[in-house]
Amino acid sequence: MGTSHAGNVGAAARAIKVMGFTDLVLVRPRFADIACRDDAMAMASGAADLLARARVVDTLAQALQGCSYACATAMTPRDFGPPTAAPREHLGGLPALGHRVAFVFGPERTGLSNDDVYRCQVCLSIPTAPGYGSLNLAQAVQVMAYEWRQALGSYGVQARTPVPAHADLAALQGTLDHWQQVLQQIGFLDPAVPKKLMPRLQQLALRAALTEPEVHILRGMARAIDQAARAAGAAPAAPAAIDGRHYTGLP
C-alpha cells in the first residue's frame, strides 16, 4: 500500500514469484505507472509478467475482494487491533482452513496505518534482533512469501547430482588394512601396538561415510606411498593387504 519506490515493487514481484505466487495488488501507489517504471523492471529480474498483470486499486477493500483472510504486516502491536503473531507459528494452521489469504504491506516510510491493520484478522510481526527491527519492504515480502510457501508445502530442494552410495564395507576394510601396512612400512605406525591408531582411523573413515570413488582414491594414495617407500629402499607392504580380500578385523 502507498508504495513510493518502483524498485521495491519490482523486487516484491520477484520475491513472490520465486515462491510460486502470482497475485500482486498495488493500493494507491505513489505513481500510477509504478509497475512499468525502469527501476521496477530492473529489480523484477524475470518477474516482469507479474508487474504486467499487477492490479492497481484505490482502497484496501478493493484489494481484498475475493480474499477471506487478511494478514497485516507490522513490527508493533496496535491498540484494539488484531492479535499479533510470528509468521511461522501462525501460518502453519491456515492452509487447512481453506482461506484465500492476503498479505498486506504498508508504505516504506510509515508502514500500515491503524485503520488498515484493523481490517485484518492478524498482525504478523517478523522476529528480528532487539533494537533494530527495520526490514526493507521487499525483504519483508520475501520473508512472508517464504513462510507462506512453507506452510502450504515446500517445493523441496532438488539435488543437482545423484547422491553417491556409501562404499562397500569390505572395500573400505581392505583399504584400511593397506594403510596399516604402509604406515608400518614408513615407520609412522608401531607394528607392535597398531590398535592405538587403527581403530581411530577406522572410526574416522566410517564417520566420513566414504563413497566408492573416495575409497579408490585412498587406496591409490596408499599404493603410491608404498611404491615411493620401496623406491627409497623400504620393505614392500605385504601383498595380502592390497589384493582386495575382505578383512574382518585388525590384528
Cell matching residue 237: 607392504
Residue 170 — φ and ψ, nearest 5°? -65, -40
pLDDT score for 251: 36
Please answer whether residues 151 and 111 qualify as being in contact, where contact means their C-beta atoms are separated by less than 8 angstroms. Answer: no
Q: Kindly calculate the radius of gyration of the chain based on its CA atoms and give it in whole angstroms.
A: 31
- The fourth-level CATH superfamily of domain 6-152 is SPOUT methyltransferase, trefoil knot domain (3.40.1280.10)
pLDDT at 96 > cutoff 70:
yes
Q: What is the mean pLDDT of the chain?
A: 87
Q: pLDDT tens, 51-60?
A: 999 999 999 9
Residue 84: its H or E element: strand 84-85
Cell matching residue 92: 502453519
Cβ contacts of 197 within 8 Å, gap of 6 or more: 183, 189
What letter does residue 241 receive in the DSSP assignment?
A: G
Residue 71 — φ and ψ, nearest 5°? -110, 110
C-alpha–C-alpha distance, residues 173 and 171, integer Å? 5
pLDDT at 163 > cutoff 90:
no
> Which is it for the CA torsion 136, 142, 145, 148, positive or negative?
negative
- Mean pLDDT within 70-78: 83
Q: pLDDT tens, 219-244?
A: 999 999 999 988 887 665 554 333 33
Cβ contacts of 73 within 8 Å, gap of 6 or more: 103, 104, 105, 106, 112, 123, 124, 125, 126, 140, 144
Residue 23 — φ and ψ, nearest 5°? -100, 105
User: Which residue has cell 545423484?
Assistant: 162
pTM over 0.95: no
- Mean pLDDT within 195-215: 90
Does domain 169-242 sit in CATH 3.30.70?
no
Q: What is the domain partition of the chain in residue ranges?
A: 6-152, 169-242
C-alpha–C-alpha distance, residues 102 and 213, integer Å? 51
pLDDT score for 158: 67
